[in-house]
Amino acid sequence: MDNIVFGRYISGDSALHRMDPRAKILAMLFLIISIFIPSGIFGYVFIGIILLDGVFLAKLSISYIFKAMKPMMFMMFFLLLVNVFVIRNGDVLFTVFDYPIYEKAVFQTFYIVIRLLFMITITTLLTATTKPLELTLGIEDLLSPFKRIGVPAHIIAMMISIALRYIPTLIEETQRIMKAQASRGVDLEEGSFKEKISALLSLIIPLFISSFQRAEDLASAMEARGYDPEKKRTRYHILKMQNMDYLFVFFSILVLLLVILIKVVFYAI
Amino acid sequence: MSIIFERLTHIYDASLTTSQVALHEVDLEVMDGTFSAIIGETGSGKTTLVQHINALLIPNEGCVKVDEFVVTKKKKENKNLKMLRKKVGVVFQFPEYQLFEETILKDIIFGPKNFGMNEADAIEKAKEVIQLVGLDESYLEKNPFNLSGGQKRRIAIAGILAADPDILVLDEPTAGLDPQGAKEMMTLFTTLNKDHNKTIIMVTHDMEHVFHYCDHVVFMKDGKVDKNCSTKQFFEDIEYLKSMDVKLPFIIETKELLRKKGIVIEEYVETIEELVNRIQNEVKKHG
Ligand SMILES: Nc1ncnc2c1ncn2[C@@H]1O[C@H](COP(=O)(O)OP(=O)(O)OP(=O)(O)O)[C@@H](O)[C@H]1O
Ligand SMILES: [Mg+2]
């Protein structure tokens, strides 16, 4: 019953913790875009090194990042399997039980897995070093230019922040219910398919019930305090970008440009 | 047969910088057939301690022995966890959140069936335990989600009892119940302990319950067992209780106030009637 760590904020005092949330969100966007540029092995090695530095800057350990990925391992494995067998491009690399495996299939699958790993690393870096409230403020600020064209920046930010705020609660709740049902003999790892379904239901139903309960309570509590999403609000914390923050965003743009350069140099379109 | 903790250490998030030593080299033995209270201020490690008894948590160091079962940090050696969990029933704080079936009957037989009991036996058992927790058989066909909080909790406890555990671990079982409901719960646990021979380990913050229902007290402080003795010994050591900021049960506090006024009652008194009689005697003596 290992702790689920994906999406959790880890209190700390690293360089990344102190950074302006807007700078972090922007940097995250640029890095994610650079992941999706098919820049081949060189590009990915380069991004990998940059991300390692990020993990170091956040004072997290590599094992923590792997822990965050753990819940998604199953999905990744599945994806990998399907991909390897379905893609039929390029040369045949080898055969498994008379089933040909193609070179392209292996490479593409490898890239997909790498991309997923990098995505998780980047989001973990963001959520582990940014308090949910800061994240909301950051998102709201970044969306505010779009207010003019009718984007409800505040409402979107509030929804995102509530969702983020409830990730740890939901995780805690899941662990609690898992323990409670384990005490009643539920075994999520063993048993027949039918037993597994029933085990999963014993987890999901209580989780849904308590989530709805919580959502209702929260809505009532917000209404009782006169919350109105349309009203203009003042802030207690005013975000202010420091030189470091600008530098950080600039640096992430640089990474993106370099990745594009790598692509152009090694894999001319 | 007993529950033995040996140099048990538990660290949460051991791999992180935010790691938390919740238990530090705890040595403790809980004898069979006792009704023990585990008390201590919030965060002292009570929940962490009891969740080791059925291997919901695995020790970082040391071990827990329950009869022939031994749980250590070596995952591979911890076999038969399911049988251990059948033997040790754990009732969580707010257990009503674990209900999920559409009828109470189905929810109660869920545990026993997981532990390998056949359906017919499980249904028989359900009929037995629903009465044990103070509800009647007509409830079995009802939907658990339409009940009151207190009733839901009874159903949840019935679901644990249905697997017929030898050891019952209760984590703050009366939290959030009205005084009458809490009293009925405590009476139920006493019955289970005295008439059904179940070893009971109860985490609680209610000193009245400890005083009136438990025979042993384990006092936790900062992840260690600070005191482990009989209830009588525990509540006789007024100096210790005061130094630890333990809220005195009504009878002990009354005795203490009387002592300050010069009326000294030496005997350990357990009921209000007895206390009143003693006071009467003292008053008569002094005329
Ligand atoms: N899931 C967890 N992750 C990290 N730390 C935890 C976790 N659960 C408990 N702790 C920490 O372990 C310590 C002991 O917690 P525990 O829940 O055992 O206390 P408790 O005595 O049961 O308290 P309470 O009376 O409030 O229920 C606390 O310092 C707590 O912060
Ligand atoms: Mg607790």
Spell out which residues of chain A touch residue B86, defining contact as CB-CB under 8 Å: 185
* Chain B: residue whose CA lies nearest to A67: B15
Q: What is the mean pLDDT of residues B227-234?
A: 96
Is residue A214 within 8 Å of residue B112, measured between CB atoms? no
Q: Which ligand is nearest to the CA of B42?
A: 1
Cβ–Cβ gap B100/A12 under 8 Å:
no
Using CA positions, which residue lies closest to atom 7 of ligand 1?
B12
Backbone φ and ψ for B52, nearest 5 degrees, come out as -80, -20
* Chain B: residue whose CA lies nearest to A65: B16
How distant is the alpha carbon of residue B146 from its chain centre? 27
Dmax (CA) of chain A: 68
Please check whether residue A186 touches B, CB under 8 A.
yes
**Residue B183 binned pLDDT confidence (cut-offs 50, 70, 90):** very high
Q: What is the mean pLDDT of residues A74-88?
A: 77
Helix residue spans in A87-225 (DSSP H): 103-129, 132-143, 153-183, 193-224
Cβ–Cβ gap B160/A183 under 8 Å:
yes
Among A157-161, B60-64, B139-143, the least confident range: A157-161
Interface test with B, best of A62, A184, A201, A208 (most B CBs within 10 A): A184
Per-residue pLDDT reduced to its tens digit, B4-15 = 999 999 999 876
pLDDT of residue B287: 67
Does residue A237 surpass a pLDDT of 80?
no
Cβ–Cβ gap A180/B92 under 8 Å:
yes
Spell out which residues of chain A touch residue B111, defining contact as CB-CB under 8 Å: 184-185
Interface test with B, best of A177, A183, A190, A207 (most B CBs within 10 A): A183
Is residue B168 within 8 Å of residue B189, measured between CB atoms? yes
Cα–Cα distance for residue pair B27/B6, rounded to 1 Å:
5
**Residue A1 binned pLDDT confidence (cut-offs 50, 70, 90):** very low
SS3 label, residue B1:
coil
Spell out which residues of chain A touch residue B15, defining contact as CB-CB under 8 Å: 61, 63-64, 67
Is residue A6 within 8 Å of residue A68, measured between CB atoms? yes
Per domain, the residue ranges of chain A are: 154-228
Cβ–Cβ gap B56/A1 under 8 Å:
yes
Does residue A230 surpass a pLDDT of 50?
yes
Please check whether residue B89 touches A, CB under 8 A.
yes
Please check whether residue B57 touches A, CB under 8 A.
yes
pLDDT of residue A268: 59
**Which of B29, B8, B35, B3 has its CA nearest to residue B202?**
B35
Spell out which residues of chain B touch residue A64, defining contact as CB-CB under 8 Å: 15-16
Cβ–Cβ gap A209/B145 under 8 Å:
yes
Q: Which amino acid is at A197?
A: I
The token duo for A162 is 């509530």
Cα–Cα distance for residue pair B52/A178, rounded to 1 Å:
15
The token duo for B76 is 């591979």
First to last CA, chain A: 48
Give residue B280 CA to ligand 2 midpoint distance, Å: 41
Does residue B103 surpass a pLDDT of 80?
yes
Per-residue pLDDT reduced to its tens digit, A195-222 = 788 888 898 999 998 899 889 999 999 9
Is residue B252 within 8 Å of residue B238, measured between CB atoms? yes
Does residue B98 surpass a pLDDT of 70?
yes
Ligand 1 contact via B57 beta carbon (within 6 Å): no
Interface test with A, best of B10, B11, B12, B17 (most A CBs within 10 A): B17
Cβ–Cβ gap B111/A184 under 8 Å:
yes
Ligand 1 contact via B46 beta carbon (within 6 Å): yes
pLDDT of residue B17: 67
Q: What is the pTM of this model?
A: 0.77
Per-residue pLDDT reduced to its tens digit, A130-179 = 987 888 888 888 888 888 888 888 888 888 878 877 877 888 888 889 99
Helices B119-132 and B104-114 cross at an angle (nearest 10°) of 120
Strand B35-39 with B199-203, pairing: parallel
Give residue A252 CA to ligand 2 midpoint distance, Å: 45
> Percentage of chain A with pLDDT > 90?
21
Per-residue pLDDT reduced to its tens digit, A6-56 = 777 888 888 889 899 999 999 999 999 999 888 888 888 999 999 999 998
**Residue B105 binned pLDDT confidence (cut-offs 50, 70, 90):** very high
Ligand 1 contact via B52 beta carbon (within 6 Å): no
Give residue A221 CA to ligand 2 midpoint distance, Å: 26
